[in-house]
Amino acid sequence: MNDPEISSSPAHQEVPALSFDACWDLLAGETIGRIGLIVDDHPEIFPVNYVLFHRTLVFRSSPGRKLWGAQASRPAVLEIDGYDPGSSEAWSVVARGDTELITDPEETAQVDALGLEPWQPGPKENYIRLSPRALTGRRFKVNPPDVWRTRINDSRRASFE
């Protein structure tokens, strides 16, 4: 099923990939992401705030499912997304790799100096590092919103409000 009308439509055109450095720049400009971990043999997603530390991503956790999943020596993934109303472009970055617990007090002090402060109340004394083996991203133009049908909280509305 190779319909030339479908394959040449804007919706089916290849979205250019972001460069490695552009992905790191976007990761550096954000503080919140979603970490995907395997917990009890199934994927789970947790929101985390993070910092970049020596080309790795570090977040903190209390004891529980997220910490257990991060220590299980399985692959992990962290994703961030964004939208720029001025350019009507969205972007997404995905870092895939391995996680490990940071136990060196000197390293945790360096991470703290970068401002890694948990948003959620309670002790988060475990520092987890995601070392990306693959870093990918893309940026694409977003369809313009229909002023009469787009939900009020859709961020695309900022371009015409």
Provide block-wise average pLDDT over 10 residues at a time, the chain (161 residues).
Answer: 47 77 95 92 91 95 79 85 88 95 96 90 90 95 70 66 51
Quote the pLDDT of residue 146.
66
What pTM was estimated for this model as a whole? 0.79
Quote the pLDDT of residue 113.
96
Quote the pLDDT of residue 11.
52
Quote the pLDDT of residue 19.
94
Question: Look-up: residue for tokens 């371009």?
Answer: 159
Using alpha carbons only, give the angle 74, 78, 83 rounded to the nearest 5 degrees. Answer: 165
Quote the pLDDT of residue 73.
65
- Give 14-159's CATH code, choosing from 2.60.120.10, 3.40.50.10140, 2.30.110.10, 3.20.20.70: 2.30.110.10
Sequence spans of domains, the chain: 14-159
